[in-house]
Amino acid sequence: MKTRIFQTRFYDDEDITDMTIYEQHLYLYLLTCQYINISGVFQLSPKKIQFEAKFTEEQFMEASKKLTELKKVLFYKGWVYVVNARKNNNYERSDDNKKACKNEIDRIPLEVKEYFDTVLPTVLLPVPIIHKQETINKKPEIISNRTAELKEQAHRLIGK
């Protein structure tokens, strides 16, 4: 089962409080539906959304138009982009999740990415993956160098 973080400040957003019940319902559905993923971009047809969220075609069209105007959600050829999904859930703290997000973005058709990019430039930038640096234990080397220095000093003292 997938989980999503739902910010309790959701209803403090003026855009949300100014929405109709249909706009709010569509937004909440898209934020919490089973199809949303780490990247926030997923394929889901308008007919499926209408069926699952119990919208008429007109209700869906009006609500999706408003969400697009507010740049909360973008729709294109059966693809959905929930704009703040990555920011609000912040699943990219681990390298594994960053890789998963990058893989999801890589699977989005170029035409869809380009469309979303024209509406909100650079939203689908590649996810930077920071590889863990190799830990090198230099302690034995330091100890052996120090031991050599001490032996040298001892030989100099004894030789005097």
The predicted model scores a pTM of 0.73
What does the block give as tokens for 42?
């997923």
What does the block give as tokens for 139?
């302690």
Q: What are the extents of the domains in the chain?
A: 8-131
Task: Tell me: pLDDT of 141 over 80.
Answer: no
What does the block give as tokens for 144?
């052996």
What mean pLDDT, rounded, does the chain reach? 83
Which is nearest to 33 in space by CA: 22, 44, 21, 23?
Answer: 44
* Separation of alpha carbons 124 and 63, rounded Å: 24
User: Which of 7-16, 47-56, 150-159 tops mean pLDDT?
Assistant: 47-56
pLDDT of 94 reads 75
Produce one character per residue of 143-153: b if its CB has 16 or more CB atoms within 10 Å, e if not. eeeeeeeeeee
Task: Tell me: pLDDT of 26 over 70.
Answer: yes
Local structure of 82: helix, strand or coil: strand
* Separation of alpha carbons 6 and 10, rounded Å: 8
- pLDDT tens profile 84-139: 887 766 666 778 888 888 888 899 999 999 999 888 876 665 544 444 555 555 55
The domain 8-131 is placed in CATH, from the list 2.60.40, 1.20.120, 3.40.50, 1.10.10, at 1.10.10
DSSP state of 39: S
> Which residue would you say has higher pLDDT here, 135 or 156?
156
**Is residue 31 within 8 Å of residue 6, measured between CB atoms?**
yes
